[in-house]
């Protein structure tokens, strides 16, 4: 039975999968809006997020310290398969219940966090590799609320940079990116 999280993931994830599958090997060393990450690094981070949040959906503890290189042969198809597993893991109603033993946060917040990562990093990878990216409009208002809620702690932990000032009349995506400390006008060329 689908949950709210799995339905939102099923709507949003294919857009990020399409971006990932279009990345060419010669783009792996390009810079991204995440200052410390090249495309290769961000792909590995996003892959780790997708795999670990499958376990978090099942109320398991995860090890964030492991940093394997996921970009071996067939990595694009494996990423798509892991996304399907992620949506399936969050389809279990128990995935949204209680508090995560590993992260100490409500499970419903964790579901929002993985959705936020898929959406924002989907944009990061798209803009870094010259692709178009249109996130699911259904998820953006919820993600803005979540980014606002998590912002202070996320900035303290270095997950978000300071918010970027933007015009409040901009569409939802640029405002979401600004909340996470990204310049919505970022370009790989100075």
> Each residue of 61-117: pLDDT tens digit?
888 777 788 899 999 999 999 999 999 999 999 999 999 887 788 999 999 999 999
pLDDT of residue 57: 96
Total-model pTM: 0.94
Where in the sequence is the domain holding 14, given as residue range(s)?
A: 4-134
- Inside any domain, residue 188: no
Inform me whether the pLDDT recorded for 13 exceeds 80: yes
Number of domain units in the chain: 1
**Above 70 in pLDDT, residue 20?**
yes
Whether 156 is covered by a domain: the verdict is no
Distance CA(112)–CA(118), nearest Å, equals: 10
pLDDT at 36 over 90: no
**Average pLDDT value for the chain:** 92
Instruction: Kindly state whether residue 37 falls inside one of the protein's structural domains.
Output: yes
Residue 53 lies in a domain: yes
* In-domain check, residue 119: yes
The CATH number assigned to the domain holding 34 equals: 1.20.120.450
Q: Span 169-182, mean pLDDT?
A: 93
């Amino acid at each position: 039975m689908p949950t709210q999280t799995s339905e939102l993931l099923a709507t949003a994830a294919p857009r990020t999968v399409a971006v990932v599958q279009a990345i060419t090997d010669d783009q792996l060393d390009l810079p991204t809006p995440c200052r410390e990450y090249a495309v290769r690094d961000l792909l590995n981070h996003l892959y780790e997020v997708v795999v670990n949040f499958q376990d978090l959906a099942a109320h398991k503890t995860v090890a964030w310290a492991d940093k394997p290189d996921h970009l071996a042969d067939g990595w694009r198809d494996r990423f798509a398969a892991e996304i399907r597993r992620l949506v399936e893991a969050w389809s279990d109603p128990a995935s949204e219940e209680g508090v995560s033993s590993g992260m100490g946060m409500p499970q419903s917040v964790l579901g929002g966090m993985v959705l936020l990562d898929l959406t924002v990093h989907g944009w990061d990878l798209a803009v870094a590799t010259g692709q178009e990216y249109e996130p699911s409009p259904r998820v953006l208002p919820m993600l803005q609320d979540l980014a606002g809620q998590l912002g202070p702690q996320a900035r303290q932990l270095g997950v978000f940079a300071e918010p970027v000032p933007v015009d409040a009349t901009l569409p939802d995506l640029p405002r979401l990116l600004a909340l996470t400390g990204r310049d919505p006008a970022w370009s790989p060329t100075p």
